[in-house]
Amino acid sequence: MRRDTVAIVSLGAIRDNVSKIRKRLPEGVKLMAVVKANGYGHGALESAATAEQAGADRLAVAYLDEALKLRAGGIRLPILILTPIDPAEVMTAIEHDLMITVTGADWFRRMAPFRNAECSRKLKVHVKADTGLGRIGLRTGEEWEELVPWLLSKFVEVDGFYTHFATAAREDTRFLKRQVDTFLRMKAWSQASGVRAAHYHCAGSAAALRFPELAMDMVRIGAAMFGFYPERLVKDLHLRPALSLHSRLIEVKKLRKGECIGYDNSYEAKEEEWVGTVPIGYADGWSQSLRCSEMLVKGHRAPVVGKICMDQLMVRLPGPCEPGDEVVLIGSQGDEVITCTELASYLDSVSQEISTSLSERIERVYTV
């Protein structure tokens, strides 16, 4: 039995977005579709299969378990795991033909006891360089020199060498240029040492769309696949949001002036007004920080009133409504539109935090 609250995911939008991005890339550049975090909340398996149909050459996820779920679901494209795995899982990665991220020689030292020396299959790695994001990756020439002997080992295949930008979606490109220069110096280390990675890559969604000259051998497309991208900085491209979120009113009541609703009497009616209850709450990923946001009812904006509860919330209605009337939380109704970008502004965050926060209690329904 389906809940009143449901996320509609358009596979057609994902397919169109990937195809449009693919056409913008310089000839010969590969496209790696990033489907981590359950496909940014859209469904990992469905997103991966759709991206492949649209021309993606490779996939990326954050963790080993995400990659294994894709393999179990029949996905055969090459998959890169962006977060270093536990060294004890090295044979799992090899057996499932997964590419792993390495950031230093210490990982290989800790891995050595767990590798089956009789296995003829190579361990495929991508070396991660930290050029300024400060998250993971090697930073110095000394770290690189210590890593080189491991990368030249007969059991290792260096499929990639990469970095990630910190400010690619910002209008000011000065820090981005510094990161690019740093990465080019590190790339030179690689080539001078005899370690020839099959793919050098540095551009995620924002950088790939804004700066085609940074495409190198491959780009990593995650957020843009799902319609999240810096539209004001990429005005010659239109990508469609792939997810909309719908619910229905389960109860409607008329408040008198001065009546309170919500935990801690968090909302007081300033006048006589209609209020409706919507079956979604913070346990579904609809954060209490969205308390000042709006939803769409009968083509009008309806502000959230009172504290958001675990399973339900209340909205001030544009007028008398009926239980069962549709509520749009993300998407369009009439002439009005509410986007993940708008909702993210209440959190001082990014669009993908909204989609990835939607819990498994909310069913995903797929359209082609």
Rounded distance, CA 19 to CA 53, Å?
9
The phi-psi region of residue 132 (left if phi > 0; otherwise alpha if psi is between -120 and 50; otherwise beta) is left
Q: Is 110 annotated as a binding residue?
A: no
Give the separation between CA 105 and CA 84, rounded to whole angstroms: 12
257 as an active site residue: the answer is no
Residue 155: Cβ-neighbour burial (10 angstroms; 0-12, 13-18, 19+): middle
| Alpha carbons 84 and 3: distance in angstroms, whole number | 38
Distances (CA, A) of 57 to 18, 28, 29: 11, 11, 10
User: 202 φ, ψ to 5°?
Assistant: -140, -15
Is 135 assigned to a binding site? Answer: yes
Whether 282 is catalytic is no
Q: State how far the Cα of 100 lies from the Cα of 258, in Å rounded to an integer.
A: 60
Q: Which of 253, 254, 263, 270 is catalytic?
A: 263
Find the catalytic residue in 36, 124, 128, 187: 36
Residue list, annotated binding site? 135, 310
Catalytic machinery residues: 36, 263
Residue list, annotated binding site for substrate? 135, 310
